[in-house]
Amino acid sequence: MNMHDTTGMARLRADFPILTQRVHGRDLIYLDSAASAQKPRAVIEAMRVTMETQYANVHRGLHWMSERATDAYEATRDDVARLLNAPDRAEIVFTRNSTEAINLVAHSYGRGVLRPGQAVLISEMEHHSNIVPWQMLRDAHGVGLRVAPVTDAGELDLAAFEALLADGTVGLVAITHMSNVLGTVTPADRLVRIAHAHGAKILLDGSQAIVHRRVDVQALDADFYVFTGHKLYGPSGIGALWGRRALLEAMPPFLGGGDMISSVTFERSSWAQVPHKFEAGTPAIIEAAGLSAAIRYVEAVGYDAIGAHEARLTDHALARLAAVEGVDILGRAQDRGGVVSFTLANAHAHDVATLLDRQGIAVRAGHHCAEPLMRRFGLDSTARASFGVYTTEAEIEALAAGLERVREFFA
């Protein structure tokens, strides 16, 4: 898809109905896609059509409608497998979001496979969802928790990362593939190699990365990969875990209930095969239809075009924001995606966000669910602009101009 001229972008933006909304009397400038992305009409339609024409519970009915609904739901599993280049569709487990996927691994792999005395290694730039489940595991199960530092530039300190693995007690590395605060893309393939060289498995949190980059779990040679649908232009309420089949098979279930069993008596139950073992209860049927449409949408736009577009926007944003007096950009990683965090002298991030909002510009302000990272940089909050396929250079210009006004307001 053509994303480098205004006609192409106008056509793409027309796919997103919400972009015609006005906020405080101004055109919406949505720069908060890293928190959640807007939805193309294809996603909205897919969900509507599901409810209007082929809705029933899945894996349960013998009737026609349930079979259609099951086929559609299972077809989304194929879409996710293709998106991640997973070797086996049975390795895709649907979850509510990334948070649930990480909790699933922390629970089932953490308690079922890791032994007390082993450790999990995370990094300083993790989202709370990739910190708290491991703390819970540590407290309940005696698995240690180690934290790899980030450099002042906002990159993972690779030497320290490797040193933390050196004693061989780390059983699992759980690390972001792209920081939601710094925009840093971590060198996932190297991390995988280092982890494996020290006998550890590795989970990559792809919540942000998959929005910006083509992900190939086989090329990465990872062990687990998680992402969340709503950041990938899909609906909220659905995400996925990919895990190597042998690992998933060795793990006990996460939640118990319907759909995840092969047989139940009051004495004992036996589990269904993967992935169903991990999908207890009625899943997000309608959302699965939306996720399928979202994946197809991203594939149609194409990761090459997305990557080029976002690299252009990010370079532009870094240059324009740096030119605003008093703006300090957090994170100077070489390899980065379309997320830019910054502070403005004499103005707290929340005040910046409120003043930008009044100009129709939506940015996020706060700790971005990464308090330890904020603390690492001696901050308690930043403002963050993040970009999606629909973001334009004109919107970046509006952000820079808006920030100039905020600066004058607080000068």
Partner 1 sequence: MSESFDALRDLYQDVILDHGRHPRHAGRLAAFDATAKGDNPMCGDRVQLWLKYAPDGRIEKTGFEARGCAISVASADLMAEIVAGTPVEDVRALFSAFREMAKHGDGPDAAVAPGGKLAEKLERLRPLAGVHEFPSRVKCATLPWHALIAAIEGTQETSSE
Q: Does 220 bind partner 1 (CB under 8 A)?
A: no
Check residue 221 and report its DSSP letter: T
Interface characters, 346-385, with ligand PLP (x: CB under 6 A): -----------------------x----------------
- Residue 181 one-letter amino acid: V
Tokens of 407: 């600066």
Q: Does 343 bind ligand PLP (CB under 6 A)?
A: no
* Closest to ligand PLP by CB, 180 or 359: 180
Tokens of 390: 């629909």
The count of residues in the chain is: 411
SS3 204: strand
The entry of partner 1, ligand PLP, none near residue 217 (CB within 5 to 8 angstroms by kind) is: none
- 369: annotated active-site residue: yes
Residues in binding contact with partner 1, number by CB under 8 A:
23
* Closest to ligand PLP by CB, 118 or 129: 129
Q: How far is the CB of 402 from partner 1 (least distance, A)?
A: 9
Cα(144)–Cα(255) distance, integer angstroms: 24
Q: Does 127 bind ligand PLP (CB under 6 A)?
A: yes
At CA 178, angle to CA 176 and CA 183, rounded to 5? Answer: 135
C-alpha atoms less than 13 angstroms from C-alpha of 69 in its C-beta half-sphere = 24
Please pick, from the candidates 120, 182, 374, 399, the single residue that binds partner 1 as defined by CB under 8 A.
Answer: 374
Q: Does 180 bind ligand PLP (CB under 6 A)?
A: yes
Q: Which stretch binds partner 1 (CB under 8 A): 93-101, 202-210, 213-221, 359-367?
A: 359-367
Nearest to 354 by CA among 396, 316, 409: 409
Select which of 340, 369, 383, 398 is catalytic: 369
Place of tokens 């210009």: 397
Q: Does 228 bind ligand PLP (CB under 6 A)?
A: yes
Cα(235)–Cα(110) distance, integer angstroms: 29
Per CB under 8 A, contacts with partner 1 among 327-346 are: 346
Torsion angle in degrees (nearest 10) through CA of 225, 231, 233, 234: 70
Cα(162)–Cα(87) distance, integer angstroms: 28
Binding site for partner 1 (CB under 8 A): 24-26, 346-351, 354-355, 358-359, 365-367, 371, 374, 380-381, 405, 409-410
* Catalytically active residues, by annotation: 369
Binding site for ligand PLP (CB under 6 A): 97-99, 127, 129-130, 176, 180, 205, 207-208, 228, 230, 369
